[in-house]
Structures are given as structure tokens and as C-alpha cells.
Structure 1
Amino acid sequence: MSAQVCGNAVAAGQQLAVKNVDRIEAINIPGVEKRRIAELYTWVFSRMVRRDFNLTSVKLFFYCKKTDQADLARFLLANLTEEAQVLEDMARPYEMPASTIFSSCDMRIISDESEELLNALLTADRALHKLMHSPLAEVAEANLLPFMRAYNALRHKVIGFPKRQPACAE
């Protein structure tokens, strides 16, 4: 697994490593190369995007090659997007704090599903940041749980984590 340091002069933030860059760069997509600067405000989402986005995007890309799987992936992405929207709606009454960006990374977008995933992560990141600087700060992370469940359901399906075997008592 290779890592690349991310950050640039345009967007402030820490220079942090992004994992699985080699995997996402190895995919050849005909047409225009799509990249986005992910400006992240919270440690939680900075870590998720840097550690998980590339691997999840690659797995999602291949998972969606089969029509029946693509439909399920899009359903799971729709749930994730809906949970990000719930967080955004909750944070809407509050102003975006005038604080610096925690980190920024140049991320490669390899499919529409990959773009939807990044959009959901960025939306939830901004909402969490606003909530953490609001009167709801004490429960901000608790409000993140439905989003995290939807995110983990998507990752579980496309990555195919092995099922845990119960520990045997001898």
C-alpha cells in the first residue's frame, strides 16, 4: 500500500498521508481525468478520507461492474447521501466557524459512485464541524452514528470483510 502526502498551497491544512494512491491511480478510465480537492474540517473525516476513500472507491468501481451489485451499491450510496443530508439539515441553523481547514487532499474520482461517496463525506464533515461549534456540540458525535452505520454498510458490502468467527471456549 503506498501513501502520498497531501495538501497544497491553495487549501490550508496539515500535510497528511493518503493511503492506497497506487491502487486508484492504476485504474485507467477513458476520457477526462477527474480530481477534487477535499478540504476537511474535522479529524474524523480527515482520517476516513485519507485512509479509506481510495480503497473504497476502487472496490466500489469493480463492485458496480455487475448490474445487480451496482443497484445495491447505488441504494447504499443513496442511504449514505441521505444521512449526510440529515446532518447538513441539523447543522443548517449554525454558521460555519471561521477556523482553518484541518487537512486538504487531492483525490481522484474514478466513477459517479466515487464522486457521490466523496460528496457525502465532505457534506458530513462540514456538518459535523458546524455542530461541534454549536450549542449541540455535546451531542454532535452521537448524531454522526446513523451516517457511520450507512458508511460501514457500504464499505462492508463492496469490500466484503470476512465474517467474524466466534471465539471458541475450550
Structure 2
Amino acid sequence: MMDGQVQSGAIHTTPEVGKTGNPLVIKGVDRIESINLQGEDKRRDAELYTHVLSRVMRRDFNLTSVKLFWFTKGYHRRCRARDLLHDLMGEAERLTDMARPYEMPAGVPAATCTMRIVSDEAELLFDALIKADRALHKLMHSPLAEVAEDNMGPFLRSFTGLRKEVFNYFDDRRPRSGAQEAASE
């Protein structure tokens, strides 16, 4: 490598191309692949029909799964994560109930990708995202299409709450420079 060049991490993409004609990027693959599991290396194919949840899966799933993996090493944190995941699945079920009267439209997924599942909690997250994606897709092709994405609010807020919980845990454990300076005075 020549001086001044920066080596970057590998860019992982889906087999599909986005609207720009370029492959869709999957973030956090290096981080999730760095986890060594003692058991089976489980992977699941995600077929996503909506742009909203395709983006969430490709952008947030791996990093959130990694954070969940470490966050749930403590029993009480695992219980808290399970409660938040139960709430998320409840919101996915609510969307599914709304979409139940409508048929799944024919067509190809907006994106497909294979995701690594590193814990039971990551699998619950994966299932909730897939369930919400299917429901949203059905709603977007129904008489409720005009307000379909508005109905995603509670699901997305629940997802954000889960992410805040597991991400803040790690942020709270890091010493802050201001706190370190105050302690040294």
C-alpha cells in the first residue's frame, strides 16, 4: 500500500440493484461476522418488499444484532431486551392484523439478503422485521395505501426504543472526557 492511501473495510452488497442501478449495501457485516459462536452458524434469507424495511434490515439489523448479542450477556438485560422485542413483535402483529383482509401482491421483493443470526434475540428481531415488511407491503397495495406508512409509526418507535436501550448501555459504560476531567480536578 502506498503512503497516503487509506484501506477501507469490505463493502457488502445484496444481489439486487437499487434505483440507481448499483448494488444495495448491507452495513455491519464485518462486525457481525467477527462474533465467534460455539454452536451452529445460522443464517436466514430476508426477502423484503418495502423500501422502508429493506433499508432498516440492510442498515440496522447487523449492528443492532451485535449490540443485542453483548447486551444480553447479563440476565436482567436479557429480560429487558426480551420485553422490548416482545413489544416490537406486538407492533408487527398489529400491522399483520390490519393487513389480514388483503392479499399479498404478486411481484418480486425490493431486496433480498442473507443475514447472520447470532442469538435468539437477533432471530426475534429478524422475525419482527419480516412480519412488519409483509404487512406493510399488503397495506401499501390496499385501500389503506394512502396511510399505510403512517401505520408504521408505533413499530418504528418500538424499534428505536430497542436500539436506544442496547446502544445507550454501551455509551453509558464509556467514560466521557468531561466526566474524566471533572474527576481529576
So what's the TM-score if we normalise by structure 1? 0.89
User: Are residue 94 (structure 1) and residue 105 (structure 2) matched?
Assistant: no
- Aligned-pair CA distance for 1:100: 1.5
Query: 3-state DSSP class of the match of 1:65?
Result: coil
Change (3 A) 1:2 1:151: farther
Q: Which residue of 1 aligns with 2:164?
A: 156
Does structure 2 conserve the Cα–Cα contact (< 8 Å) formed by 1:2 and 1:19?
Answer: no
So what's the TM-score if we normalise by structure 2? 0.82
Aligned residues: 158
Q: CA deviation digits over 1:99-119, x for unaligned, max 9?
A: 211000010000000000000
Q: Which residue of 1 aligns with 2:65?
A: 57
> Aligned partners of 2:11, 2:127: CA distance in 1, in Å?
22
- Aligned-pair CA distance for 1:3: 3.1
> Aligned partners of 1:51, 1:147: CA distance in 2, in Å?
17
Does structure 2 conserve the Cα–Cα contact (< 8 Å) formed by 1:6 and 1:18?
Answer: yes
Pairing partner for 2:77 from 48, 66, 69 = 69
User: Are residue 142 (structure 1) and residue 165 (structure 2) matched?
Assistant: no
For 2:148, give the aligned amino acid: A
> Aligned partners of 1:84, 1:100: CA distance in 2, in Å?
21
Using CA pairs under 8 Å that are at least 6 residues apart, name the structure with larger relative contact order, 1 or 2. 1
User: Are residue 26 (structure 1) and residue 30 (structure 2) matched?
Assistant: no
> Aligned partners of 2:155, 2:39: CA distance in 1, in Å?
32
> Aligned partners of 1:31, 1:38: CA distance in 2, in Å?
22
Q: Which residue of 1 aligns with 2:43?
A: 35
Q: Which residue of 1 aligns with 2:86?
A: 78
User: Are residue 117 (structure 1) and residue 119 (structure 2) matched?
Assistant: no
For 2:60, give the aligned amino acid: D
Q: Which residue of 2 aligns with 1:168?
A: none
> Aligned partners of 1:128, 1:157: CA distance in 2, in Å?
25
Q: Which residue of 2 aligns with 1:131?
A: 139
Q: CA deviation digits over 1:60-117, x for unaligned, max 9?
A: 0100001111111000000000000000111011000012110000100000000000
Pairing partner for 1:5 from 6, 13, 21 = 13
Larger radius of gyration: 2
Q: CA deviation digits over 1:129-150, x for unaligned, max 9?
A: 0000000001101111110111
Provide runs of 4+ in structure 1 moved above 2 Å. none
Q: What CA RMSD, in Å, does the superposition of the two structures yield over aligned residues?
A: 1.5
- Aligned-pair CA distance for 1:2: 4.5
% identical aligned pairs: 56
Q: Which runs of 5+ in 1 are unaligned?
A: 8-12, 164-170
Does structure 2 conserve the Cα–Cα contact (< 8 Å) formed by 1:3 and 1:20?
Answer: no
- Aligned-pair CA distance for 1:43: 0.5
